[in-house]
């Protein structure tokens, strides 16, 4: 419809030239209302027909404005479209139901994303008929020279191109963004379950350490050492650092920034097992070693292990590991809502009392 490159535009009479005008596509619709119609077209058949009518009329009027048609020409558009709407609405409806039924298994992923699926189906159906509709109504009103449109001005494009790229596509993208929010609201509980499972199974950071303790206990009689007991203990510490999601856990969506935020509690020591081993035990003839003596030695080792953990970067590593795992495992899940959405992992600002959360276990290796 447009002239080939190199054709002399100046030879075309002015009355055959189209002056393209700048314009913004106008289609005022309640997005939640539209999504309710699209997800249940059988129930809202009349509303579905009206939605198609309003959408097509908005695209036709936008194309007319962009191509500089006169007010008199624009007045002819509603009547021209009315002649086609009766059968077009049936085509839209039947094709929409057919695609909705045949692709339901495709659009149903781990969560019920019917809102997003409905917008994608509408785009597929509308794209099928929009060009034919626009060309049949707008083309007869546009001056042509041997079937060619000569345009100048702002963003020169075919009538079909204007309708699709400036009208249909932006509207349905806006509707799809809203659909992502609706789908997220319905799937938030399932998403939380998935995050909980990932954190519980994968995001536990293990810290291993080994220490030794040498202790000499003497027995005095009238101020004189008469017996000496020597104890040498080595121990292996295995501490698991993770996140107690029952203490705090939140998943939220910000549609303005298109970010899904997972907020985790600060990491704590979930379990701490200490495996002591007696490397040497020499008991003096007047010295009896009691369980209390052993427990004091164990507690010294336990406190040293704990102090080292708290002063190390173990908690930072646990946070970094949780972020990496969630981005790897949950990033694609978030993208299934919308390709524009990003996952952000953050941690509760007020840390949980790490000491209080810890469960210690001592494995007694005394023979």
- pLDDT digits 0-9 by tens, 5-55: 444 444 544 555 677 888 999 998 999 899 999 988 999 999 999 999 999
Categorize the per-residue pLDDT at 252 as very low, low, confident or very high, splitting at 50, 70 and 90.
confident
Going by C-beta distance under 8 Å and a sequence separation of 6 or more, which residues neighbour residue 50? none
Mean predicted lDDT score pLDDT of the chain: 77
Q: Give percent of the chain with pLDDT exceeding 90.
A: 26
Same domain, 250 and 283: yes
Domain end point (choices 147, 163, 187):
187
Cα(252)–Cα(345) distance, integer angstroms: 11
8 A C-beta contact, residue 135 and residue 160: yes
Indicate whether 88 pLDDT > 60: yes
Domain count, the chain: 2
Indicate if 137 and 54 belong to the same structural domain. Answer: yes
- Same domain for 125 and 268: no
Residue 64 counted as domain residue: yes
φ/ψ (deg, to 5) at 336: -70, -25
73 shares its domain with 105 = yes
Rg of the chain over Cα atoms, rounded to whole angstroms, equals 36
Last residue of a domain, one of 137, 160, 187: 187
Buried b (16+ CB within 10 A) or exposed e, 62-95: bbbbbbbbeeeeeeebeeebeebbeebbeebbeb
**Least-confidence region, from 31-35, 69-73, 83-87, 156-160:** 156-160
User: C-alpha angle with apex 105: 100 to 110, nearest 5 degrees?
Assistant: 120
Give domain status of residue 273, yes or no: yes
Quick one: average pLDDT of 271-281? 71
180 and 62 co-located in one domain:
yes
Q: Round to whole Å and give the CA distance between 126 and 160.
A: 12
Residues in the chain: 367
DSSP assignments along 94-130, one per residue: HHHHHHHHHTHHHH--SS--HHHHHHHHHHHHHHHHH
Q: What is the domain extent for residue 36?
A: 9-187
User: What is the value of pTM for the model shown?
Assistant: 0.56
SS3 77: helix
- The larger pLDDT score, comparing residue 6 to residue 126, is at 126
Q: What does the pLDDT look like over 327-336, one tens digit per residue? A: 887 777 777 6
Q: Is residue 1 domain-resident?
A: no
Q: What are phi and psi of 223, to 5 degrees?
A: 80, 5
Query: Has residue 262 been placed in a domain?
Result: yes
On whether residue 367 sits in a domain, the answer given is no
Q: What percent of the chain has pLDDT over 70?
A: 68
pLDDT of residue 96: 93
Question: Strands 268-282, 150-153: parallel, antiparallel or unpaired by DSSP?
Answer: unpaired
């Amino acid at each position: 419809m447009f002239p080939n490159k190199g054709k002399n535009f100046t030879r075309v009479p002015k009355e055959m030239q189209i002056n393209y005008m700048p314009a913004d596509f106008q289609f005022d619709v309640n997005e939640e209302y539209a999504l309710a119609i699209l997800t249940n077209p059988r129930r809202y058949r009349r509303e579905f027909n009206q939605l198609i009518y309003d959408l097509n009329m908005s695209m036709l009027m936008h194309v007319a404005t962009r191509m500089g048609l006169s007010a008199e020409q624009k007045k002819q558009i509603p009547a021209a479209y009315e002649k086609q709407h009766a059968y077009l609405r049936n085509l839209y409806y039947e094709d929409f139901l057919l695609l909705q039924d045949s692709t339901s298994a495709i659009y149903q992923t781990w969560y019920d994303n019917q809102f997003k699926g409905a917008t994608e189906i509408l785009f597929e159906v509308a794209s099928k008929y929009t060009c034919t509709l626009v060309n049949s109504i707008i083309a007869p009103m546009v001056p042509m020279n041997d079937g060619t449109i000569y345009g100048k001005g702002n963003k020169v494009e075919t009538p079909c191109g204007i309708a699709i790229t400036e009208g249909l596509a932006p509207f349905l993208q806006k509707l799809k963004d809203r659909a992502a929010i609706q789908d997220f609201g319905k799937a938030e509980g399932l998403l939380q379950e998935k995050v909980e499972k990932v954190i519980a199974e994968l995001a536990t950071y293990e810290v291993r350490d080994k220490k030794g303790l040498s202790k000499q206990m003497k027995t005095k009689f009238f101020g004189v050492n008469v017996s000496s007991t020597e104890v040498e203990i080595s121990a292996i510490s295995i501490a698991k650092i993770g996140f107690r999601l029952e203490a705090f856990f939140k998943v939220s969506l910000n549609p303005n920034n298109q970010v899904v935020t997972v907020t985790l509690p600060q990491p704590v020591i979930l379990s701490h097992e200490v495996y002591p081993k007696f490397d040497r035990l020499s008991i003096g003839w007047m010295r009896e070693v009691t369980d209390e003596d052993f427990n004091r030695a164990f507690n010294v080792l336990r406190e040293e292990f704990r102090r080292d953990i708290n002063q190390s970067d173990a908690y930072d590593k646990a946070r970094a590991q949780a972020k990496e795992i969630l981005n790897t495992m949950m990033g694609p899940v978030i993208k299934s809502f919308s390709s524009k959405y990003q996952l952000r992992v953050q941690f509760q600002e007020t840390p949980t009392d790490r000491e209080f959360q810890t469960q210690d276990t001592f494995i007694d290796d005394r023979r």
